[in-house]
Amino acid sequence: MLPKIFYSIFYTFWILTTKCFVSCKIRQKTYEKYYSVVMDHISEQVGWDSMQHLEIKYDFSTEISTKIKDVICKESRVVLPKKFEAIIHILNYTYTDVIHTFIDHISAIAKRCQEYYDFNQGDNFLSCTVSLQSVVENSKTMFEQLYNVMNYLSNIDLKTLASAKKTFSIPIVDEIYTFVEFATLKIQQNTQIFIDLNDPKTKEDAYEVILDVNRFIKGIDNESYQKIKEKNSLIVYNRKSKCLLEENLKDYNARQNKNIELSYYLCEWLNMYYNEISTNFYKNLGFEQVLESKKEGIFKPPIYSYENICQKQIIEQLNAITKESGWKSLKHINIIFNGQVISVDRIFRHPTDRINFHCKIQHVLRLIKCIYTEILFKYCKYVICLLNFCETVYVKNNDVAYINFVRQIFDAVNQTTKMFDIMYKTLVSLHNLRGEYYHDHINSNLISLCTLITNLLEEIKSGNCLMAVLDTKSDNNNMKVTQLDATTCVRKFFEFLKYNKLKSSLNKTHEKHCRLRNLPLDIDIPESIYTDKFSSACNKLIVFSENVIKVYFEELGLNKFN
């Protein structure tokens, strides 16, 4: 048995690491060179001057804080990954302030509109809600720009730039996207509030605008944004902090001739604020040129080198599978990558391109690895349950029933080998698209999973689970021999499934890297199995394997990679 296991592990490792099979490669130096060009460009931009009130303690060994521009400039001795980490810290801190300012102001405007509604001031109420609707819609461009910056930073694989480091700063991508979605929704609703006080529907539509804003604000966990600042505790704010809403309210109240209504005043201020943020924290930081440059030669992302196919074709394939129906059922699943919790929805939120390709292909592989690991564990647990039931029958000395049940289990097990063949080939295909990557646990986990699958297939096809050894005869002597053979097969297979050491080592990291909750396709362990329904329980294993191929292979379009 040991030689077989050793051969299996060696063979899997060879397939996943040898240059003969790893058909693509990206050099770390090439990856680093691209981001060095980007960093040099960003560091030279004037926008960082407006952030000199923010300093960063980039070195944990000292309490000394440094101006952000001094950290990220070309002359700085700070290594490239730490420069990007400093930018992530600073922008997390700064963009969180933008979010707070937005929430403060639309809350104040909604409150003002509510007062007009409560006191039945129809004209003011309708005018206020029109302004509120408009100012939320107008925030879309600003939040999209901030989101694009954070999304870009989240697609930098800092492990490749600094393989020795274990944890990294996490850009607030999804937090900002929440505001992009809200503004987009308001635009799509395209609410038209007609100034007709005699129409009850007008008042209902207008009031719904207030309710929408209040529901959105209530759904935003303001404490989470405070936690973002706590996580970015390396930032030192060297000025006296002030609340912009309070400043604006003071300014408004100080006006001797208030010929402008408060909600309109706040909306006008917000619209100017959007332009200011877009200018100072997007364009003037250099991200507009990096993300929207038409001259690709200036900021040319690294290219993966394949032997028989170009990266452009792989990108087209990845974009093709995102249109498959199966991914929608996986939207609630999250994976962990470089400390980031990444949902399937986020993985496929944008098309694959040369900028995000490096991380995107890893996300897809990690997601499929997580799902296939879960399937393998559930499969083993279910088969163990069936084998345990057989042992119960055996204790009752019912040899005929025992042999019949064992035959049914192994018949079902043999019919599930296609599922594991497909899982193995899919993992190897995705690995080959990603190429060599040794910067976290995914590679070793992948080897462990492929080894488990190989061992399982080897065990099933070894002869221990073949029907020939369970062929019953009519006479008692042969019946006894068959029963002993069946018992040997059951116990060997049981021990194999339950005590495989590689499985337990993979299990330790599976929960850490994969947040799988309520997979769309599952196989529940029955609380009890009845003799007359044992065939149905075995058949359930076959149906499960067929559905796995359909749901987690064909409907995801992964057959296009094989």
Indicate if the pLDDT at residue 21 is higher than 50. no
Per-residue pLDDT at 529 exceeds 80: no
pLDDT at 492: 86
Q: Tell me the mean pLDDT in the region 538-551.
A: 94
User: Which whole number is the average pLDDT over 261-274?
Assistant: 96
The predicted pLDDT at position 6 comes to 43
Mean pLDDT of 34-51: 94
Asked if pLDDT for residue 60 goes beyond 60, the answer is no
Q: Indicate if the pLDDT at residue 163 is higher than 90.
A: no
Quick one: what percent of the chain has pLDDT higher than 90? 44
Q: What is the pLDDT of residue 473?
A: 43
Residue 298 reports pLDDT greater than 90: no
More confident site: 301 or 440: 301
Percent above pLDDT 70 for the chain: 80
pLDDT value of residue 268 = 96
CA separation for the pair 133, 183 (Å, rounded) = 9
Range of lowest pLDDT (266-270, 493-497, 548-552): 493-497
Q: Read off the pLDDT band of 561 (50, 70, 90).
A: confident
User: Could you give the residue ranges of the DSSP H alpha helices within 435-549?
Assistant: 442-461, 476-499, 501-513, 534-549
Stretch among 58-72, 108-122, 317-331, 410-424 having the lowest mean pLDDT: 58-72
Give the C-alpha separation, 559 to 492, whole Å.
Answer: 34
Mean pLDDT of 243-259: 86
pLDDT of residue 555 exceeding 50: yes
Which is nearest to 172 in space by CA: 75, 74, 99, 281? 99
pLDDT for the residue numbered 20? 36
Q: How confident is the model at residue 107 (pLDDT cuts 50, 70, 90)?
A: very high
The larger pLDDT score, comparing residue 404 to residue 190, is at 404
What stretches of 101-258 adopt beta strand conformation (E)?
A: 235-237
Band of residue 464 on the pLDDT scale cut at 50, 70, 90: low
Quote the pLDDT of residue 10: 46
Q: What DSSP element (H or E) covers 147?
A: helix 140-154
Instruction: Give CB contacts under 8 A, 24+ apart, made by 119-124.
Output: 122/197, 122/203, 123/195, 123/197, 124/261
For the entire predicted model, the pTM comes to: 0.88
pLDDT for 203 beyond 80: yes
More confident residue, 443 or 34: 34
Other Cβ atoms closer than 10 A to 201: 9
CA distances from 143 to 146, 175, 268 (A): 5, 10, 17
Burial (0-12, 13-18, 19+ Cβ within 10 Å), 20: exposed
What is the reported pLDDT for 491? 86
Reply yes or no on whether the pLDDT at 67 is more than 60.
yes
Q: Mean pLDDT throughout 501-511?
A: 64
> What is the residue whose two structure tokens read 């002869």?
463
Query: Residue 562 pLDDT more than 70?
Result: no
Taking the C-alpha atoms of residue 345 and residue 336, their distance in angstroms, rounded to an integer, is 14
Q: Which residues, including other chains, have CB under 8 Å from residue 306's CB and lie 6 or more apart?
A: 23, 24, 314
Q: Name every residue whose Cβ is closer than 8 Å to that of residue 41 and which is 6 or more positions away in sequence.
A: 286, 289, 290, 298, 299
- Report the distance separating Cα 193 and Cα 94, nearest Å: 35
Give the mean pLDDT of the chain: 83
Q: What is the pLDDT of residues 340-355, one digit of tens each?
A: 889 899 999 999 998 9
What is the pLDDT averaged over residues 25-31? 74
Q: Is the pLDDT of residue 13 over 50?
A: no
Cα–Cα nearest to 407, from 321, 468, 334, 365: 468
Residue 198 predicted with pLDDT over 60: yes
Asked if residue 477 has pLDDT above 80, the reply is no
Confidence of residue 433 (pLDDT cuts 50, 70, 90): confident
Examine the pLDDT at 128 and tell me if it is beyond 80: yes
Instruction: Report the relative pairing of strands 24-25 and 54-56 from DSSP bridges.
Output: unpaired
- pLDDT mean over 181-188: 94
For residue 318, pLDDT beyond 80: yes
**Beta-ladder partners of 235:** 56
Of the ranges 297-306, 371-380, 418-427, 445-454, which is most confident?
Answer: 418-427
**Which of 75-84, 149-158, 234-243 is predicted with the least confidence, judged by mean pLDDT?**
234-243
Question: Do the strands 305-306 and 235-237 form a parallel or antiparallel pair, or are they unpaired?
Answer: unpaired
Task: Report the SS3 class of residue 171.
Answer: coil
Position 426 pLDDT exceeds 90:
yes
